[in-house]
Structure 1
Amino acid sequence: MKPVSLWDDAWKRLRKNKMAIIGLWIVIIYFAIALFAPIIPIHPYEQQVLDHIYLPPSFKPAGEVMLKQWENHTKKIMKKEGRTEYTEAEQAKYDDMLEDIATNPIHQRHYILGTDSLGRDILSRTIYGGRISMSIGLVGTITALLIGIIFGALAGYMGGWVDSIIMRIVDIMYGLPYMLIVIIMMAILGRNIFILFVAIALVSWLTIARVVRGQIISLKNSEFVEAARSSGASSGRIIFRHLLPNTISIIIVYATLSLPSFIMSESFLSFLGLGVSAPLASWGSLVSDGVNGMGLYPWLLLVPAITMTIFLFAMNFLGDGLRDAFDPESKNQA
Structure 2
Amino acid sequence: MTTTSVSTSGNSAYASKSKSLYQIAWQQFRKHPLARLGMLILGLLYAMALFAPFIAPYTATEYISGEKRVSWAPPTNVHIRTPEGQITRPFIYAVTRETNFETFREEYVEDRSTRYPIQFFVNRPEAPYRLFGLIPMNMRLFGVSEDVRFFMWGTDNLGRDQFSRVVYGSQFSLSIGLIATIVSVALGMLFGGLAGYFRGWVDVIIMRFVEVLSAVPELFLLITLRALFPLDIDPRLVMYFIIAILAVIGWGGIARTVRSQLYSTRELDFVQAAQALGASDSRIIARHMLPTSLSFIIVAVSLIIPSYILSESGLSFLGIGLVEPYASWGTLLKVVQDGGFESITGRPWVLIPGVFIFLAVVAWQFVGDGLRDAFDPRKRQ
Quickly name the TM-score band, shorter chain normalised.
0.7 to 0.9
1:55 and 2:87 are equivalent in the alignment: no
User: By how many angstroms is 1:80 displaced?
Assistant: 8.0
**C-alpha contact (below 8 Å) 1:153/1:239 kept by paired residues:** yes
User: By how many angstroms is 1:58 displaced?
Assistant: 2.6
Give the Cα–Cα distance (whole angstroms) in 2 for the partners of residues 110 and 178 of structure 1: 41
- Map of 2:161 onto structure 1: 121
Q: Residue deviations 1:18-50, cap 9 Å, x none?
A: 001100111111111101112325211110124
Q: SS of the residue aligned with 1:49?
A: coil
- Map of 1:84 onto structure 2: none
- Map of 1:88 onto structure 2: none
Give the Cα–Cα distance (whole angstroms) in 1 for the partners of residues 146 and 324 of structure 2: 23
1:39 and 2:54 are equivalent in the alignment: yes
For 1:17, give the aligned amino acid.
Answer: H
**Identity, % of aligned pairs?**
38
Give the Cα–Cα distance (whole angstroms) in 2 for the partners of residues 208 and 328 of structure 1: 22
**C-alpha contact (below 8 Å) 2:56/2:163 kept by paired residues:** no
Give the Cα–Cα distance (whole angstroms) in 2 for the partners of residues 328 and 218 of structure 1: 20
- Map of 2:128 onto structure 1: none
Q: CA RMSD in A?
A: 2.5
Q: SS of the residue aligned with 2:292?
A: helix
The two structures have a TM-score, normalised by structure 1, of 0.86
- Map of 1:298 onto structure 2: 348
Indicate how the Cα distance of structure 1 residues 42 and 218 shifts in structure 2: closer, same or farther if over 3 A, else same.
farther
1:277 and 2:323 are equivalent in the alignment: yes
Q: Residue deviations 1:67-108, cap 9 Å, x none?
A: 3x63xx44xx3x689xxxxxxxxxxxx9xx899999x94343
**C-alpha contact (below 8 Å) 2:53/2:59 kept by paired residues:** no
1:242 and 2:288 are equivalent in the alignment: yes
Give the Cα–Cα distance (whole angstroms) in 2 for the partners of residues 14 and 235 of structure 1: 35
Of 206, 212, 226, 2:252 maps to 206
In structure 1, stretches of 5+ residues that fail to align are 82-93
1:156 and 2:156 are equivalent in the alignment: no
Q: Residue deviations 1:239-280, cap 9 Å, x none?
A: 100111111111111111001111111111111111112111
User: By how many angstroms is 1:304 displaced?
Assistant: 0.3
1:255 and 2:301 are equivalent in the alignment: yes
Q: SS of the residue aligned with 2:146?
A: helix
Indicate how the Cα distance of structure 1 residues 175 and 161 shifts in structure 2: closer, same or farther if over 3 A, else same.
same
For 2:72, give the aligned amino acid.
Answer: Y
Count of aligned positions: 310
Give the Cα–Cα distance (whole angstroms) in 2 for the partners of residues 128 and 251 of structure 1: 30
- Map of 2:28 onto structure 1: 13
1:224 and 2:274 are equivalent in the alignment: no
**C-alpha contact (below 8 Å) 1:45/1:120 kept by paired residues:** yes
Give the Cα–Cα distance (whole angstroms) in 2 for the partners of residues 149 and 100 of structure 1: 63
Give the Cα–Cα distance (whole angstroms) in 2 for the partners of residues 238 and 101 of structure 1: 70
User: By how many angstroms is 1:59 displaced?
Assistant: 4.0
Indicate how the Cα distance of structure 1 residues 196 and 80 shifts in structure 2: closer, same or farther if over 3 A, else same.
closer
Of 149, 168, 177, 1:137 maps to 177
User: By how many angstroms is 1:202 displaced?
Assistant: 2.7
In structure 2, stretches of 5+ residues that fail to align are 1-13, 80-90, 117-143
**C-alpha contact (below 8 Å) 2:76/2:151 kept by paired residues:** yes
Give the Cα–Cα distance (whole angstroms) in 1 for the partners of residues 245 and 94 of structure 2: 43
Give the Cα–Cα distance (whole angstroms) in 2 for the partners of residues 316 and 224 of structure 1: 35
Give the Cα–Cα distance (whole angstroms) in 2 for the partners of residues 36 and 112 of structure 1: 18
